[in-house]
Chains A and B, each alone.
Chain A
Amino acid sequence: MTNEQPLRSGLTGSTPRDLRGFLDLLQAEGRVLNIDDATLPEPDVAAYCKAASGNHGSSHSLLFKNVVGYKGMRLAVNLLASWANCAVMAGLPSGTPVSELVIELCDRSTRSAPQHELLKNPPGYECMESTNVDLYKILPLFRVHPLDGGFYLHKTCVVSPDFNTPLKPGRFKCGAYSVQVQGRDKLGIHLSSTDNLGIHLRTAERLNRPLPVAVCLGVPPLCSLVASMGGGYETSEYDLVSTLSGTPIELAQCLTSELVVPAFSEIVLEGYIQPRLRSPLGPVTGDRGRVSKISNQPQIKVTAIAHRKDPVLDNAYPGVKWTERDCVAGIAAALRINKYGRETLVQVARSGTRAENMYLQMAFSNLFTGDVKSEESVEETDPECVEQDVYLERIEELRRRSSQCHKPLPVHTSR
């Protein structure tokens, strides 16, 4: 399943609607290595992952179909660990250069976000278990790195509410955190006090209320990207996913809380963080093989598990020089810089002099929108300006240069 939207190039890009659609696209491109042989969770799975990891976004994606002890379960690793796969995620051909991929996504992020869509029968809730919750039965776990203190899931989308604001889809925050399965219904979560979830937790603990959370696994790939992006507290992750995909994100109402989650998640773990409770977690391997020390971290009590039929668990493999996180973080950083840069420059353009505005327009023309004062003022004031010819020539030159890879620069001056 894919969502179609026009690209800068004029073609139509199909962004995968869910993880399965993404896997199908990758399979069609021959970008997934299927492992059908019997594979021991330790040490085989991690050994395969390490062998498949390459530098600078050249890793291979793996799909394990026969992990010993987890008959019938599928485990995907490294799905976004290459630029080619990231391009497929964005609905572009797999051979798209990284620069084009980033420009395309930055361009999309400036568009308006379609409204969310709440599905009545979400696929992620095809199967439900709330009485005998057992994480060990539903999750094909493996020790991601030899030094980890347990079995971690590194590719999550954790949804939590801010008790300080009214609950509505735009006010839920999604973040990617490492979680450890610590019991049949317990998850440890690796947090810092500056994380969005850490902020939510402190608010909840001041009120002495349990904090409802939903840990979504196997979410649509754009959700994974946005969850790990850290685009500022005021940014709605769901809006951004809709903007990047060009279609409304499909959401589902949680059964045990007021949270809403991506409807096409493979697995949703609903639960809550118990206030004023910390338990040991770690060591956990982070980027580039750095191992964090053991610390006392919050614990999630899982009260319900929802999943699709035959769910696919999507996990990441950190601990090598170049990982999935590097690709995702690279794109996310570009989107962040684009967002902040645009906001800052528009502010400068609105309050700056005409000459400053002209220079800004020449340097960052793609970032301006039609409502910027500089563009209006240039058009309306002093058309006989002596310096105008110089600016026009410069703009024409820039326009010629950028016509190959950017959309043409608008010329806002008149002679």
Chain B
Amino acid sequence: MSQTLAGPYEPIAADEYNNVKMICLRCSGAEVNTECAPDGSDAWRIYSCRRCNFSWRSIEDVNSILRTSGRTPSRLREEQIAKLPVPVPMPQEEA
């Protein structure tokens, strides 16, 4: 087993994931894509929310990613997504 900065890592058993229905940890979206490690080692998986595009890896502490201001983890509600700023406005919005 290899030693890394984070210490020894354990390959993750596929069954551990296959039985769990993932939801997005940021917006609670139910459609989450799962991607395996490309070398087939099953060392980790990448989850990607199809609604808010938040992505995380199975070996990460997601709460620390979402804790942007150092306090409580920031969540994103569905109604907030539609109201997000649009830096490159679409033509119909300009009119």
Contacts and interface: CB of A to CB of B under 8 A. Distances in A.
B57 A137 contact: no
B56 to A, nearest CB: 8
A149 B25 CA distance: 11
Contacts of B2: 37-38, 68
B13 interface: no
A151 interface: yes
Interface in A85-138: 136-138
A38 B5 CA distance: 9
Interface in B33-84: 33, 35, 37-39, 41, 43-44, 46, 48, 50-55, 57, 59-60, 64-65, 68, 76, 81, 84
A188 B33 CA distance: 16
Contact of A68 (B44, B46, B51, B81): B44
Interface string A15-51: 0000000000000000000000111111110011000
A37 B53 contact: no
Nearest to A41: B57
Nearest to A135: B35
A108 to B, nearest CB: 34
Interface string A308-343: 000000000000000000000000000000000000
A48 B4 CA distance: 11
Interface in A180-227: 180-184, 188, 191-193, 198, 201-202, 205-206
A117 to B, nearest CB: 34
A133 to B, nearest CB: 13
B88 A40 contact: no
A146 B65 contact: yes
A38 B86 contact: no
B87 A297 contact: yes
A12 interface: no
Contacts of B59: 40-42
Contacts of A279: 53
B87 A291 contact: no
A44 B6 contact: yes
A71 interface: yes
A391 interface: no
B4 A68 contact: yes
Contacts, number: 132
Given A184-B35, A193-B88, A276-B91, A69 B54 contact: no
A202 B44 contact: no
Interface residues of B, number: 40
Contacts of A283: 68
A198 B89 CA distance: 9
B44 A69 contact: yes
Contacts of B4: 37-40, 44, 68
B94 to A, nearest CB: 8
B38 A136 contact: yes
B3 interface: yes
A296 B9 contact: no
A276 B95 CA distance: 14
B41 A69 contact: yes
A297 to B, nearest CB: 7
A294 B46 contact: no
B85 to A, nearest CB: 5
A293 B85 CA distance: 9
Nearest to B54: A149
Nearest to B37: A69
Nearest to B67: A147
A383 interface: no
A72 interface: yes
B90 interface: yes
B3 A38 contact: yes
A70 interface: yes
9 contacts: A41-B44, A68-B37, A68-B43, A136-B35, A149-B53, A202-B88, A205-B91, A276-B91, A296-B86
Interface of B: 2-6, 9, 26, 33, 35, 37-39, 41, 43-44, 46, 48, 50-55, 57, 59-60, 64-65, 68, 76, 81, 84-92
Instruction: List 6 A-B pairs, minimum CB-CB distance, nearest first.
Output: A69-B37, A38-B2, A71-B39, A150-B55, A44-B5, A137-B38
